[in-house]
Amino acid sequence: MSELQRLATDFGLAAQNLRAQKTRTLLTALGMVFGVGAVIAMLAIGAGARQQSLGLIEQLGVRNLMVDSIPPGSPQQLQQRRMTSPGLTARDVRILETNLTGLEHLSPRRYLHPSHVLPTPAHEMPDLFGVDPSYAAIHHFQELEGAFFDALDNAASAPVCVLGVSAKVNLFGYQPALGSYIKVNDVWLRVVGVLAQQAGASNGGGAARDWNDVIYVPLNTFQYRFYDNSFSQKDDLDGIDMSLKPGVNSLEAAQVVTAILNTTHHNTPDFTVTVPAGLLAEQQQTQRIFTLVMVAIAAISLLVGGIGIMNIVLATVLERTREIGVRRAVGARRGDILRLFLTEAVLISSAGGALGIVFGLVLSWTIAVTAGWTTIVSPWSIGVAFGVSAAVGVLFGIYPARTAARIDPIEALRYE
């Protein structure tokens, strides 16, 4: 008999024995089902979180640098800062433009949360950002309607604006907004563009804000047409966004920016420099640790399932001791007995792994729907989970299989 025929015979006998104990086999396989399903779900959550993080960092731009002003905690702290630092100002912009090698685009940024907007927003009040036209190139904006405002609009302090897609829906619903007018505080603005959906959740300016729920106006328009009482309690600029030319090391450029601003601010810690490339490396490391921890927790279920398989196969060996004696008496070798019981263990774990894949897909979908998380099930995660389940069957099945193979045939025939 060839090895292939022998293997087919072993699988047939093992399947026949398992079918004879359907309930016990199913309960034993449940540990593998839950373990494999948990591993797939945890890997899916990790992959989804990684994709969201990468989307945000790509939106920020791996060749971008963001300088943000740190708001003072009180008027006294602001007064103390002003003794040594003027805060983030247009002078910093000019110095950076002159001294930063490899600079491609630069845009100052100012922020205002309006007190009222017309049309009345359906949800939260959109934020107002004053930026240079280069801001769109820095953050790779794409337009759904119209275009981003240009240098002429900025030079003329034109009353125009560009809406993020969420701000557009918030104000106008799903009807076209191009050419319409909105009133922000006491200023009427004409909509000249609507941006496409942007990935990520933050566009600088300190607290996390939705990229898509923002009204963008030219920086000069912001400076000459808008005023807020809070302006006196913060720096002239809320931030400076920069993009670097290809090939420029963003981490080294960030050190240069920090050194320049430390000089102009007299080492006053009133700003931060964010490097998306550095965030990317940190985020990837964090996601790797998170995924490993989650998989390790899920693998405990596989371990418990493996112990269950070993326990059941040992019990089966005890129940079938006389059968083992008969098989040995008619010519079966120890290797034949070992293969038979090992095959049963592998079949249990493999069947549990197959059902676990289905359970993992359902669990991942349920988490995505109920929790609103992004989950990504990859063929790699399915292959790993199923491969581990099969390996668990071999690992925890080999001991009871060897125990069965070592039973003395004479004693086995006498066993009642």
| Same-domain status, 196 and 85 | yes
Work out the mean pLDDT of the chain and round it to a whole number. Answer: 85
| Same-domain status, 321 and 186 | no
| Same-domain status, 202 and 91 | yes
Average pLDDT on 100-122 reads 92
Residue 305's pLDDT band, with cuts at 50, 70 and 90, is confident
pTM of full prediction above 0.75: no
Average pLDDT on 249-275 reads 91
User: 66 in a domain, yes or no?
Assistant: no
User: 192 in a domain, yes or no?
Assistant: yes
User: 61 in a domain, yes or no?
Assistant: no
| Same-domain status, 106 and 254 | yes
Contact present, 275 and 65 (Cβ < 8 Å): yes
How many domains does the chain divide into? 2
| Same-domain status, 49 and 80 | no
Residue 61's pLDDT band, with cuts at 50, 70 and 90, is low
| Same-domain status, 368 and 330 | yes
User: 195 in a domain, yes or no?
Assistant: yes
* pLDDT of 204 strictly over 60: no
Kindly report, residue by residue over 361-402, the tens digit of the pLDDT.
999 999 888 887 888 888 888 888 888 888 888 888 888 888
Residue 145's pLDDT band, with cuts at 50, 70 and 90, is very high
Residue 203's pLDDT band, with cuts at 50, 70 and 90, is very low
User: 274 in a domain, yes or no?
Assistant: no
User: For the ranges 50-54, 102-106, 182-186, 330-334, which has the lowest average pLDDT?
Assistant: 50-54
User: 380 in a domain, yes or no?
Assistant: yes
Q: Per the structure block, which two tokens stand in for 93? A: 């912009």
Contacts of 89 (CB under 8 A, 6+ apart): 235, 236, 237
Residue 162 structural domain: 71-269
| Same-domain status, 127 and 178 | yes
Both ends of the chain: CA-CA distance in Å? 32
User: 65 in a domain, yes or no?
Assistant: no
| Same-domain status, 134 and 242 | yes
* pLDDT of 74 strictly over 90: no
Give the per-residue pLDDT at 38: 84
Using alpha carbons only, give the angle 237, 108, 196 rounded to the nearest 5 degrees: 120
Kindly report, residue by residue over 11-59, the tens digit of the pLDDT.
787 788 778 788 888 888 888 888 888 888 888 887 887 777 666 665 5
| Same-domain status, 104 and 131 | yes
Assign 3-class secondary structure to the chain. Answer: CCHHHHHHHHHHHHHHHHHHCHHHHHHHHHHHHHHHHHHHHHHHHHHHHHHHHHHHHHHHCCCEEEEEECCCCCHHHHHHHHCCCCCCCHHHHHHHHHHCCCEEEEEEEEEECCCCEECCCCCCCCEEEEECCHHHHHCCCCEEEECCCCHHHHHCCCCEEEECHHHHHHHHCCCCCCCCEEEECCEEEEEEEEECCCCCCCCCCCCCCCCCCEEEEEHHHHHHHCCCHHHHHCCCCCEEEEEECCCCCHHHHHHHHHHHHHHHCCCCCCEEEECHHHHHHHHHHHHHHHHHHHHHHHHHHHHHHHHHHHHHHHHHHHHCHHHHHHHHHCCCCHHHHHHHHHHHHHHHHHHHHHHHHHHHHHHHHHHHHHHCCCCCCCHHHHHHHHHHHHHHHHHHHHHHHHHHHCCCHHHHHHCC
| Same-domain status, 109 and 248 | yes
